[in-house]
Amino acid sequence: MTTSPTSTTSQTSPITEDDIAQFLLQTPEFFERHAEVLASVQISSPHRTRAISQQERQAQMLRDKIKGLEQRIIEMVRHSQENTTTVQKIHAWSCALQRVKNPVELPGVLVEGITKQFDVPQVAIRLWDVAPAYAHEAFAQGASDDVRALATSLTMPFCGPNLGFEAASWLPGGGIAHEDGSGAQSLALLPLRDGPMASATPAFGMMVLASHDVHRFDATMGVDFLSNMTEMASAVLARLR
């Protein structure tokens, strides 16, 4: 039985764009044999209204890719510069703490260093279970059992809005968040303990950082830097125990 032309045509699948793309990928020598086809292809430019050649379109795509890579390099350089600045600040802060001979001066030097080196508007520290010689100092007063329990329960920095935490009252001006946007709008509560912050060791103190910027200490921020800074502060303040 002879198949009619109409029957044959209806049973043949039409060639799709994917078929053409696959053919060109699998047959790169096609353009070597038909160079005039590649040269005559006109493509609409995404940046202009006129049509452009395939070669010009490829050059344009390459320029866009180079521009994107240049932007990434600029961002990497900027982050590198920021990291270098942070390292220099940590170094200066650490050196200042190492120069302290009288342990009773440590909390004040630590607070001053954080305020100046890291541009934190308000900082406060409270310690408990200190050595008898320091029990009468201001930094050893005012930490209730609730605050101590909260500090021990924290295994990472707490960052977020000032919701009236008792520890905020240690800050200058009472740590009040005013409706006009001034005062302590956001906080970082940092537990002080022996060893890593994430350990189950009971806390012997807490450090509070505050800013009038509600986004300065946000729940979504990375806390690696704060954790490292807190562990350094804990190691230094252990001299008061």
The pLDDT-based confidence of 42 (bands split at 50, 70, 90) is low
Indicate whether 8 pLDDT > 60.
Answer: no
The answer to whether the beta carbons of residues 130 and 241 sit under 8 Å apart is: yes
Distances (CA, A) of 102 to 99, 106, 107, 138, 206: 9, 7, 11, 16, 21
Judge whether residue 95 has pLDDT over 60.
yes
The residue extents of the domains of the chain are 18-99, 103-240
pLDDT in tens, 149-187: 999 999 999 999 988 889 999 998 777 767 776 778 899
Q: What is the pLDDT of residue 9?
A: 46
pLDDT at 85: 76
For residues 120 and 118, give the distance between their C-alpha atoms in angstroms, rounded to a whole number.
Answer: 6
State the average pLDDT over residues 68-83: 76
CATH 3.30.450.40 fits 103-240, yes or no: yes
Statement: residue 74 has pLDDT above 60: yes
Choose the most confident range, by mean pLDDT, from 60-74, 139-153, 169-183. 139-153
Q: What is the pTM of this model?
A: 0.65
What pLDDT is recorded for position 130? Answer: 95
Q: CA distances (Å), 203 to each of 34, 150, 153, 155, in order?
A: 77, 9, 8, 10
Q: Which amino acid is at 147?
A: V
Q: How far apart are CA 206 and CA 142, in angstroms?
A: 11
Higher-confidence residue: 72 or 202?
A: 202
Task: Give the three-class secondary structure for 187.
Answer: strand
Closest CA to 170 of 184, 182, 160: 184
Mean per-residue pLDDT of the chain = 83
**Hey, what amino acid is at 241?**
R
pLDDT at 235: 94
Q: What is the distance between the alpha carbons of residues 156 and 191, in angstroms, rounded to a whole number?
A: 8
